[in-house]
Structures are given as structure tokens and as C-alpha cells.
Amino acid sequence: MRLANTKILATVLSVVMSAPTIAADLTTTEAKAKFELLLPFKINQVSDSPLAGFYQLESEKGIFYASRDGEYIFSGSLHSFSDGLLNLTAVRQRELANGQMEAIQDELIVFPAKNEKYRVTVFTDPTCGYCRKLHSEIEQYNDLGITIAYAAFPRGGINSEMDKLLKDVWCSKDHNKALSDAKNDIPIAKGSCQTPVDQMYQIGESLGINGTPAIILPNGEMVPGYRPALQLLQTLENAG
């Protein structure tokens, strides 16, 4: 009997010793340091995620989720079944957007509606075909009471030719005319000044923007891509 017990104990010990080591959870400070070292972008904040066992990482490239032991990371939308498939990622993204957009409000290039009902921010690039289409219909948006406020988002990134063109626009004396000219391939004067273009681009990336036009509604929700004036009005009315 003793021999049998000894064999059982030896088997248990063998299983325990050969089992994979479970990594200890990192603190939020440790997680931030680790992922900033591994990822090619800045992590702004690490906090508890609605998903048990995961941290929420808010970065200059958007929201990510990471296991608390720091071994796994993923991106995408996190939904809650108990709230009717509420997109928790989008809710947080809207909160971040509202705060970040405040920082650049005075730097936007605005095409105002005379009888404004809504004001949207559009991240734009003068070389983008659908940005040009939207701008060619600016009067239609304005006639429906939609003010268009433009922010810069050079698709080629900082220091690209698109970035240089947008900086020339923001350095011009007449921003509205310069932006319209740039979208119609009319040469504009080269400028040299401090512009908000880099800041706008970084904010756009942190909001998850990866193409233009990208429309930010008053509630902070992002609508990617071109929307005709009537369709955008319906979206705004439904957004509340």
C-alpha cells in the first residue's frame, strides 16, 4: 500500500513540476513600461479593462487590450452583451475624442453654415479624391445647416509631401482659400511657420483614423469616409 501511495505522490509531483509557469500579473505601471518598450508608439494610459484579466491601453494609435501578465495584446471593438451589444471601445473612443478635439478647436479651418444646426470636424488631406468630392459639395452641407470644420491628416504621415502641403495651407494668410486651392491643384505659396498639423495628425491617429475623409460628429463618434450631405444630415439627426 505504501508503495502505491509513493508512486501516486511521485506522479503528482512530476505533473506539478512539468506544468507551465503562470506569469504574474503586471501592475499598470509595469504594463505601460513593458508595452512602450515593445511597441513602436506611445502608451498614454493603462487602466483596468471591462474584460476580466485584461488591461485597457490608450495609445497614440488607438485603444488596445492586453493580458494582465503582459503576454498578449489585441485590438478591436469590445462589446457588452448585457447592454445590448454596446460597443465599449467606441464609447471610450468618443470620450477621448471630445477631450482631444477641444485642444485644436481654434486651429480648424471652418466653412460655416449660415443657419448652423450641426458642426462636424473633418480630418482631411487635399490629395484625397473623396476629400475633394466632399469639399466640392461644401455648399450643400452648409445649406442643410452643417458647418464643416477641417483638421489636417496627411495620409503619408509627418514629413510627407502631403504633410508639407497641409503646412503650407495652415501658414497661408487665407486658410479657406488655400485649402480650396490645394484641393483643386491650384499652387499655393510655400510657408514657414508653426502649424498645428503634426498635433492634428497625432490626434487623428490616436482616434484610430487611418484614412480620409474622417468625420467626427458632435458626440465624438467617428464616421469614416465620404458621406453625401443628405446622408450626413440623417446620421447627425439619428446620433442625437
Active-site annotation, residues: 125, 128, 131, 155
The three-state DSSP-derived secondary structure of the chain is: CHHHHHHHHHHHHHHHHHCCCCCCCCCHHHHHHHHHHHCCCCEEEEEECCCCCEEEEEECCEEEEEECCCCCEEECCCEEHHHCCEEHHHHHHHHHHHHHHHCCHHHCEEECCCCCCEEEEEEECCCCHHHHHHHHCHHHHHHCCEEEEEEECCCCCCCCHHHHHHHHHHHCCCHHHHHHHHCCCCCCCCCCCCCCHHHHHHHHHHCCCCCCCEEECCCCCEEECCCCHHHHHHHHHHHC
